[in-house]
Amino acid sequence: MAILVGSETRLLVQGITGREGAFHTAQCRDYGTTLVAGVTPGKGGQEAVGVPIFDTVAEAVERTGANTSLVVVPRPFAADAIAEAMDAGVGLVVAITENIPARDMVRAMRAAEGGPSRLVGPNCPGVITPGQAKVGIMPGFIHREGSVGVVSRSGTLTYEAVHQLTERGIGQSTCIGIGGDPVIGTSFVDVLERFEADEETEAVILIGEIGGSAEEEAADFIRRRFSKPVVGFIAGQTAPPGRRMGHAGAIVMGGKGTAADKMEALRSAGCRVVESPADLGAAMEASLAAR
């Protein structure tokens, strides 16, 4: 079993005709994801990356049965693309576009209220279930099928954790980059709920960052409702207050959202928290051995 993406995924790509869109679409297809359509307004009836292009997401869904969208659309149009996919009833929308204004994302999220769609991102690497499907920009070759779930606000640290696991012979169930922007569609808690329900996920690596309260909320959920081992790491331990670290949401303001607070919250919830990302693989290996 897997969460969010798997063998049942039927992918359409919004922005498939752009350079980045075409490249990442081909990478997803070559990994084994079932690619069924592209969407670029004004280019309907053409083809790209071996699939038909449609002018609208609604038409693509009706004609191909697409259930997942990858949004590789330039920042000025990305929020509208996300809202269009949700309005068309696409079950999963993965947005990798960076630097979408927060007010635009708030508007896009309103489009999902009460609907069937789930958004992952924006400003994220996407989702991969090793051996089944990838929707995003993750380097597929570093992944290995297995039972450890990975959820992270950081793309590069996701890759680091996955590489360490694979090098130790530890496979992954599903790996999800939720994004580091202030307004995102899927939280740590959303993912943890699914990992808890997934019988094939035995343990989880959770990688957070300074800023916001998502990690503290995850720690509270883990303490109350999560039964599997969790290894955690928080990036930005030496970041000065008021300094944004990489992601728009990774900033400590008013003494809140510090790495120390987040690490303590996770430890208090029973997680094994490491000081360095270089220790994630070893910590997970030890957690699995202790089960």
Q: What is the pLDDT of residues 78-131, one digit of tens each?
A: 999 999 999 999 999 999 999 899 999 998 888 777 789 999 999 999 999 999
In whole angstroms, give the CA distance from residue 121 to residue 279. Answer: 26
- CA end-to-end distance (rounded Å), the chain: 21
Model confidence band, residue 197 (pLDDT cutoffs 50, 70, 90): very high
Distance CA 83, CA 117 (A): 10
User: Hey, where are the domains in the chain?
Assistant: 10-120, 139-289
Please state the length of the chain: 291
C-alpha–C-alpha distance, residues 39 and 99, integer Å: 21
pLDDT number for residue 270: 98
The band of 215, judged by pLDDT with boundaries at 50, 70 and 90, is: very high
Percent of the chain predicted with pLDDT > 90 = 85
How would you list the strands of the sheet with 230-235, edge to edge? 133-136, 126-129, 172-177, 145-152, 203-209, 230-235, 272-273
Q: Do domains 10-120 and 139-289 have the same CATH topology?
A: yes
| pLDDT tens, position by position, 21-57 | 999 999 999 999 999 999 999 999 999 999 999 999 9
Q: What pLDDT sits at residue 144? A: 98
CATH number of 139-289: 3.40.50.261
For the residues of 119-172, what is the DSSP string, one character each?
EE-SSS-EEEETTTEEEES--GGG--EEEEEEEES-HHHHHHHHHHHHHTT--E
pTM of the model: 0.94
Enumerate residues 6+ apart whose C-beta is below 8 A from 289: none
Residues of the chain with pLDDT > 70, as a percent, come to 93
Edge-to-edge order in the sheet of strand 51-54: 47-48, 51-54, 34-39, 10-14, 68-71, 92-95, 118-120
Q: Mean per-residue pLDDT for 185-211? A: 96
pLDDT computed for residue 157 by the predictor: 96
Q: What is the mean pLDDT of residues 186-212?
A: 96
Per DSSP, 239 falls in state: P
Phi-psi region of 189 (alpha: psi -120 to 50; beta: other; left: phi over 0): alpha
Closest CA to 3 of 227, 172, 225, 214: 172
SS3 232: strand
Q: Is residue 143 flagged as an active site residue? A: no
**What is the rounded average pLDDT of the residues 209-225?**
95
Q: Which of 75-84, 170-179, 243-252 has the lowest mean pLDDT?
A: 243-252
Separation of alpha carbons 150 and 156, rounded Å: 13
Quick check: 252 pLDDT over 50? no
| Predicted local confidence at residue 240, as pLDDT | 61
Q: Is 190's pLDDT higher than 80?
A: yes
pLDDT tens digits along 133-177? 999 999 999 999 999 999 999 999 999 999 999 999 999 999 999
Q: What is the topology classification, in CATH, of domain 10-120?
A: Rossmann fold (3.40.50)
Beta bridge partners of 52: 47
The confidence band for 61, taking pLDDT boundaries of 50, 70 and 90, is very high
Sequence-distant (6+) residues with CB within 8 A of 116 are: 89, 91
pLDDT bucket at 238, cuts 50 / 70 / 90: low
